[in-house]
Each structure stands twice: as C-alpha cells, then as structure tokens.
Amino acid sequence: MGDTVLDGMLKGGVPRNRSVLIAGAPGTGKTTLGMQFLQAGLEAGERCLFISTEQTRDELQESFASYDFDLDHEQLATTSLHASPEQDSNGRQQLRLRTLEGGSAVDEQFVGFTLSNIITYLRRGAAADRIVFDSVSALEILTDEEGLFRRYLLEFLQTLTSEIGATTLLTAEANREGYADDILEFSTHGVLRLTREAVNDDPHRFLKVAKMRGVDHDPRTVEFTLGSSFACAPSRRSQPPALKTHKHTSIGIDGLDSLCGGGLATGAGVLLHHDGRANLTALFSQLMSQCIDKGYNILLVPTIRMRPESVRTLLTGHNNSLDTLMGDNRLFVLDMIGAWDETTENVFGSRESASGIRSVLQAVHERAGDQPTLSLINADAMVNKLGTADARDVRYAQEARFLDSDDLLIHIHNPAVTVDEIDGFYKNAAEQVIKTWITESGLQYFSLEKSPCGFVGTTSMVEYVEEPPYLEVQMPPEERENPHIVD
C-alpha cells in the first residue's frame, strides 16, 4: 500500500489479484489512498491504471499537485469514464458511456452505459498489475435490482482480478462510520474504512482494516494524515525500551504476561478495571500463588467475593495455606466490608479515615520486613467507606510511602459503582491499566488500556481450564510491534 504502518497491519500489504474496497464519506481520503497504492506499484516496477468516474486527467493533476505522486509516469495510465444522459434514436433518455482525457472527449461515439460495454473497454485497455476504480458507486446506476447489481458487481470484480490479473482497489461513498453498501462490502475481498472525527474540536482522519480474507490483519484503528502522501500512525503504541523506568513481574499466565509486555508493572500502580460480571477469582488465585512462590507478602483489601473461606479455597487450589501464611506474617487483611474476624492475627478491621488506613499500611510495611509485597486493593470499598477525598489520599500514600521498586500495587475497580471523577483519578494514577469484561454472548476478554510496555489497545479472550493457572488468555498477534522491555 506504500505506507509502513498500513502494510504492517495487512501483514505485508493487499493480497495479489484480489479486490479491496476503500469505504469512506466524502473528503476522508479514499482517492488519495488509491493513488498512493498505485505509486507504490510504480516504484516496484508494476503497470498501474487509475480509472475515475468523477474526474478528468486535468482535474486529477490539479488535485494531487501537492503530493509526491508521479501522474506522468510511463507505467501509469489514467482514464475517466463518465455517464451522461443522451437520447437514443427513438428520443428516449438513455445513459451513455464516454471516455475523457484532459477535459475533451477521446472518442465522440458514445456507447451504452452497460456492464458489458464497461468490461469490453477494460479488456481492451487494462493491461495492468494494479488498478484503482474511483468510484464503484457509479456502477449502482446500472440497475435498481439488488440481486442483479450483485451479479453485475461480481462479474466486474472477476474481470479485474481473475481475467486481467490485477490487484484492485475500489472506492465507495459511505456513511460517517465508514460503512458502505452491504453488497459492496460483501463482494470484495477486503474492506478499509476511512472516517473523519473531531478530537478536542480538531478534525482527524482514521483508518480501520475491517476485513481482509485470509489475512490475520491488525484490526486496531490508526490515524492517518494527508501531507505529501498518505501516512498512518502510530507505528507503536507503547514507549520504546530506551525509556524504561519500571520493572515487571510475571503473572504466570502466558497470554496475559505477553499482553502486558512481560507481566505486571512493579514499583507503580496497576489498575484492574472490571464490569462486575467478569470472574476474577482464578486470576487472583494465580496472582497470589505466583507471588507467594516468589517470596512476596500479600496485603488484601478484599472484595465481597473474597471472604475467608473463598480466599482459603483459592490458596488451597495452588497448594498454599491461608492459616500458615497469616501465621508467618506473609498475608494481611484490611477488611473494609466486615467479612473477616478482626480478632484473627493480621486481620485489621475497617477504618473510617485516611489516617486510619495509613496506620494499617505502616504496620503491614513494618511486619513484612524486607520482602516485597503484593497489595490487592478493593478500590470501590475504599471509596464507598472513606469518600473520594480520603480515598485519593490513601492511594497517593500507598505509592509514595509504602511502595518499593519490587512491590506490586493493584487496585480493583468497577467504574459503574463510583462517580466518573474517581474513575478518572484511578486511571490517571495507575502506570498500567488492564480491563476485563464479559460480553452479552458470555465471552470474557482482557484488554491493555494503558502501559509503559505491552500491546496497548489489544484485546485477548479468556478461557478457563481444569488445572493451574485455571485460566488461559489468548496470545497477542506476534506480527505486531514487539513491545517487550528486556531486563
């Protein structure tokens, strides 16, 4: 396609001898992307053909005067096909096809604007490796019958890709979301959606590979600009290794570790964003088990599902004992929901103020000694018990005063149960934001929303299994940018 980012999303580019639809509203850059595709072909020594149903050659020259496109290249042919109402011998109005170059008619003898005449014209003059047809929407006037138009379109595409043997891009008008006619999208091998939206009142253009049969393409949306050429960004979505300021530790779930760039960030806050429906117990049990094996102490501010017997079961599933861990000063509970026995060693009852919580954090920090600590914090309980101001105070204190470089600080948060203001605060304070949710169809996913490393913006499906770690997370695509930071 002539753009490094877009070609990477397509795993090398558009498949040869296939048809791809570029769908977008007027002014989104469809024709420019088509011309960039041809320019890349010229630079590769291929024969190219640009067919316009809307502009003459002179108009194309004017439109692309500021671009680095060589419209005079000897391997590039351009032509314009215009349909205009004419009277036949019986005085009836009939659409006629004519070819134009430079604003004047090349052939004064009009032919009927029919599919057979268009295909005859293409067979006669389209000796090309790459073809751009701008715009295929013009073909819709061939017939009002949907089934017949589908047959016409398939025959047209078959001529371009199989008979002529050209890789073909077709542009089409679409709505604001980049959706074109269903028949066009179904009939073509691939679909690229171009949209234009305001970001902080500034206009921006976006591209999404909506479909590409036989290609494990990158479905994430990118932004593109129209300068001297068509250019997509970003080339990567996480900061480069040279800017590393953090460590991370493995969760022991391969797909989730890979998604996060090697594991969870240590020495900084991690936010686990959930929808209240996703099952988090398997994740918590694996996380605690992994950290226990690495010598971590654990501080729990439990959710309502993490009552004593539930935590006992989670730990037992990984051959760990709740009682032993608490007796060895390796597990501490700050109970903000009133589900634990406050008379038990290392169980701290609910506190009503930020200062009370800070005193518990100080006590845990002292008892934990030199060993690193995993803190699993029910942020919603903190907010509901303390209020937003004190919850912020505690969050800052945890990271500023009680977090060492090897410690894990994870806040568990469901934004549906708190105000937007505090949701934004927790996201802003976190170094890494991981989201998990369940769809209406019952599938659970993880997505990396923010991180100093990892596949930011990528979504991976969750599957539960019978043996530890009890869940598997889909691996992110290997072909995307390598986000891993090597220690």
What is d(CA 17, CA 168) in angstroms, rounded to the nearest whole number? 7
What is d(CA 444, CA 446) in angstroms, rounded to the nearest whole number? 7
Task: Report the Cα 183 to chain-centroid distance in Å.
Answer: 26
What is d(CA 320, CA 281) in angstroms, rounded to the nearest whole number? 15
Q: Which of 247, 275, 337 is nearest to 300 (CA)?
A: 337
Task: Give the pair of three-digit tokens for residue 328.
Answer: 């060895």
Q: Where are the alpha helices (DSSP H) in 305-413?
A: 308-316, 322-327, 354-368, 379-386, 388-401
Which H or E element spans position 412?
strand 408-413
Q: Are 273 and 448 in contact (CB under 8 A)?
A: no
Q: Are 86 and 96 in contact (CB under 8 A)?
A: yes
Quote the DSSP letter at residue 161.
I
Q: What is the CATH number of domain 241-473?
A: 3.40.50.300
Task: Give the pair of three-digit tokens for residue 472.
Answer: 């598997």
Which H or E element spans position 124?
helix 115-125
Q: Are 153 and 183 in contact (CB under 8 A)?
A: yes
The CA-to-CA distance between both ends of the chain, in Å, stands at 36
Residues 6+ apart with CB under 8 A from 46: 75, 128, 129, 130
pLDDT at 453: 83
Could you tell me the CA-to-CA distances from 119 to 122, 125, 177 in Å, in that order? 5, 10, 32
pLDDT at 484: 44
Q: Are 284 and 410 in contact (CB under 8 A)?
A: no
Q: Are 356 and 349 in contact (CB under 8 A)?
A: no
DSSP 215-267: -------EEEEESSSEEEE-S-SS--GGG---EEE--S-HHHHHHTTSSEEES
Q: Alpha-carbon Rg of the chain, whole angstroms?
A: 30
Beta strands at 331-334 and 269-274: parallel, antiparallel or unpaired: unpaired
Q: Are 53 and 81 in contact (CB under 8 A)?
A: yes
Q: Which amino acid type is present at position 385?
A: K
What is d(CA 203, CA 305) in angstroms, rounded to the nearest whole number? 46
Q: Do domains 4-233 and 241-473 have the same CATH topology?
A: yes
pLDDT at 482: 46
pLDDT at 389: 93
The tens digit of pLDDT for each residue in 65-77 reads: 888 899 889 999 8
Q: Which of 252, 381, 383, 397 is nearest to 307 (CA)?
A: 381
Phi-psi category of 276—alpha, beta or left, where left has phi over 0 and alpha has psi -120 to 50?
left
Domain 4-233 indexed as CATH 3.40.720.10: no
Give residue for tokens 């002292």.
366
Q: Are 438 and 446 in contact (CB under 8 A)?
A: no
Question: Whole-structure pTM over 0.75, yes or no?
Answer: no
- Name the β-bridge partners of 252: none
Quote the DSSP letter at residue 480.
S
- Domain layout of the chain by residue ranges: 4-233, 241-473
Residue 351 burial (CB count, 10 A)? 20
Exposed e or buried b for every residue in 17-56, given b needs 16+ CB within 10 A?
A: ebbbbbbbbeebbbbbbbbbbbbbbbeeebbbbbbbbebb
The tens digit of pLDDT for each residue in 456-472 reads: 888 999 999 998 899 99
User: How many alpha carbons fall within 13 Å on the CB side of residue 6?
Assistant: 27
Rounded average pLDDT per 10-residue block, the chain, 487 residues: 92 92 93 94 94 81 87 87 68 61 54 77 78 86 80 88 91 88 90 92 92 90 89 80 75 93 92 94 93 95 91 92 93 93 91 92 88 95 93 94 93 92 93 95 94 88 91 80 45
Helix (H, G, I), strand (E, B) or coil at 213: coil
Residue 323 burial (CB count, 10 A)? 12
What is d(CA 185, CA 22) in angstroms, rounded to the nearest whole number? 9
